[in-house]
Amino acid sequence: MVRAIERLVKMWPDNFYVSSQSREILQCPLRNPVDLFHSETIVKICAPMVRYSKLPFRTLVRKYDCDLCYTPMIVAADFVRSVKARHSEFTTNQGDRPLIVQFAAKDAHVLADAACIISPFADGVDVNCGCPQRWAMAEGFGACLINKPELVQEMVRLVRNQVENPMFSVSIKIRIHDDLKRTVDLCQKAEAAGVSWITVHGRNVEERHQPVHYDAIKIIKQSMSIPVIANGDIKSLKDVKDVHQKTGTDGIMVARGLLANPAMFAGYEETPLRCLQDWVDIALEHGTPFACFHHHLMYMLERITSKQEKKVFNVLSSTSAVLDYLRNNYGVH
């Protein structure tokens, strides 16, 4: 197993890991993310977000009291089959822990293979059973899996059996059914198969902007003996506490709220200037592509700029122009 891992490390480019520390990464003891849920505090989690929850942004939110980060969703079959996909889809370093890699999968063996490949560099995998996008559902990924509890069970069991380290977690992220009994049945079957925890986005597959069904998340939590995480429409630290109170869940996962304010978990009502400076420093250090660098700043400035200022900032087309704007308007260098 160690030799296989070392061969995989050689296949990856330097930015997959800090090359001078690659041996340390291989020998670094795996952290057990389940231990996070044994504390009395709410576990605060950065959601898997396509294009956005990559290493630079994960580095930023970890500076502001984020306990656990997920990667963007990665298609497991592509990851297993293609070195190019591994190069482009996953980057990490030693500070990027604890880390959960989320996979889209429809075959238990492919998922288990992906989990084995990634296991030396992360603390667990998550199966996306909640993405409602048509392309994902058409491919057999995402939210269609909530209607295939036996397949979800098989996925969990196979990852458990094939990843050698018992501390490596396997979790699922789901949406709810209209008939909540079906959701509870799915969750209980996943628990019986050995799932580490379950994240529940409190909407069904058809719902987008409708209110989140926190009452449904509460019922699911009461039906389980493993940790349950609540997700959906959480935009401030007050919301984190309120949703925790409503649902009794063990953790709170946030997506758009963190994009708008990466310092949210630290109690800031809006993005502080220090956070803007941190993002500039981190993004430049990591060589973040301009579009990603700019888009994150657009989200961060959303609540603290006027419409006119947005019109100016959002059409900037180079890193130097953005840096000039931030320096002149916010004193960020």
User: What six digits make up the tokens of 52?
Assistant: 């956005």
User: What six digits make up the tokens of 280?
Assistant: 């500039």
**Is position 187 annotated as part of the catalytic site?**
no
Distance CA 45, CA 78 (A): 26
Which burial class, exposed, middle or buried, applies to 285 when counting CB atoms under 10 A from its CB (0-12, 13-18, 19+)?
A: exposed
Name residue 246's amino acid: K
Is residue 251 within 8 Å of residue 45, measured between CB atoms? yes
Q: Return phi, psi of residue 162, to 5°.
A: -95, -30
DSSP per-residue codes, 141-176: -GGGGGG-HHHHHHHHHHHHHHSS-TT-EEEEEEE-
Neighbouring CB atoms inside 10 A of 193's CB total 20
Catalytic site residue from 116, 131, 187, 275: 131
Active site residues per annotation: 131
